Structure 1
Amino acid sequence: MRKKIPQQASKNSKAKASKLRIIAGEWRSRQLPIPDIEGLRPTPDRVRETLFNWINHFVPGSTCGDFFCGSGALGLEALSRGAKHLTFVDNSRVVSQQMTANLATLGATNAEVIAQNAAAFLETATPRPLDIIFLDPPFRKGWLAQIIPLLEKGWLAERALVYIEMEKEAALPPLPNNWTLQKEKTAGQLVYRLFEITQ
Structure 2
Amino acid sequence: MRIIGGRARGLMLESVGAGDAARHLRPTTDRVRESIFNLLINGGYGDPVGGARVLDLFAGTGALGLEALSRGAAHVTFVDDGTAAATLIRRNIERMRVGPETVLLRRDATRLERHDGAAFDLVFLDPPYGKGLGERAMTAARDGGWIAPAGLIVWEEGTAPTPPPGFDLVDQRRYGDTFVSILRPSD
TM-score (norm 2): 0.85
Asked whether 1:119 is paired with 2:110, we answer: yes
Identity among equivalent pairs (%):
35
Deviations 1:67-94 (A, max 9, x none): 1011212111101001000001111112
Rounded Cα–Cα distance in structure 2 between residues aligned with 1:138 and 1:127: 27
1:193 is aligned to 2:181: yes
> Size of the alignment, in residue pairs?
176
Q: Give the superposition deviation at 1:158.
A: 2.8
Runs of 4+ in 1 over 6 A off after TM superposition: none
Map 1:157-168 to 2 at 5 A. Answer: 157-168=148-159
Bigger mean CA deviation after superposition, 146-155 or 87-96: 146-155
Q: Whose radius of gyration is greater, 1 or 2? A: 1
Which of 30, 43, 47 aligns to 2:32? It is: 47
How big is each residue's C-alpha offset from its partner over 1:109-145, in whole Å with a ceiling of 9 and x where there is no partner?
200111221123x125546410000000001221123
Task: Give deviations 1:131-171, integer Å, cap 9, x for gaps.
Answer: 00000000122112311221222112131000111112x64
1:87/1:114 contact within 8 Å kept = yes
Structure 2: gaps (5+ residues)? 42-46
The answer to whether the 8 Å contact 2:156/2:179 transfers is yes
Q: Distance in 1 between matches of 2:113 and 2:84?
A: 23
Whole-Å separation in 2 of the counterparts to 1:124 and 1:157: 14
1:10 paired residue number: none
TM-score (norm 1): 0.80
CA-atom RMSD in angstroms? 1.9
